[in-house]
Amino acid sequence: MHQFQILGQSNFGISVLLDCLAAMCPEQELRADIIANLPPEQNTSLAYAFETPGVHSAVHFYSDWTPAPEVPCIVGSIGKGRRPIFEFFRERFGITEDRYFNTIHPSAVVALTALLGRGVHISPLSVVAPFAELQDFVVVNRNVSIGHHTVLERFATVNPGANVAGACRIGAGVTIGAGATVVDQITIGAGSIIGAGSLVTRDIPAGVIAYGNPAKVIREISPG
């Protein structure tokens, strides 16, 4: 049996992650222990189903759980909760980047020369071109294209249907909205958000929201 520890409980993300694991390990028995770090009254995702055929799953609260050092970990979110979840379990249990497993759907195409960090998630039908670099905990959602020699820094998220062209640099914690296009050789600064459907034709500074065609800075992101 293949076992995994899914840290954090965003049922939206867990449904995607379990489906990915089942596709990665066909005809094999899987077990996923889901470790919640929020009490139920604070978790708005619990109304959504995540149970997946072929995967035996059980939910535990973090205070009742003991990590199994030999079992790989997965961040239980594919959205903005990834960094807080990682930091929560690092601070309380000492679980560092090297413990995390990459979830890459078999229908994704990842070039042999692409460089992947730890805890990376790549959803179905996405393409990662030669010499692209996806650093730790990057998320590439479904039907996304990442161009050659493009770097996505830690915790960057590219939402469904977006296209990031070649030789771009996408800063740590950036979110690129669904259906957005980023043209060649663009830099987007850390923590910025690119609105859905935007066309990014010039560099975007750190810590801002930008959207439109062409994308323009709308406002700065408030600290916290």
- Residue 100 DSSP symbol: B
CA distance 93 to 22: 27
Segments forming the whole domain that contains residue 144: 103-213
Number of domains comprising the chain: 2
In a domain, 221, yes or no: no
Model confidence at 223: pLDDT above 80? no
* Distance separating alpha carbons of residues 4 and 72, to the nearest angstrom: 5
* pLDDT tens by residue, 182-208: 999 999 999 999 999 999 999 999 999
User: Is there a single domain that holds both residue 110 and residue 206?
Assistant: yes
**52 and 124, same domain (yes or no):** no
User: Is 144 found in the same domain as 94?
Assistant: no
* DSSP helix/strand/coil, 75: strand
Predicted model pTM: 0.96
Query: Does a structural domain hold residue 220?
Result: no
CA 180 to chain centre: 17
CA-CA distance, 207 to 184, in Å (whole number)? 21
Nearest to 193 by CA among 164, 167, 171, 168: 171
Residues 110 and 86 in one domain: no
Residue 157: pLDDT band by 50, 70, 90 thresholds?
very high
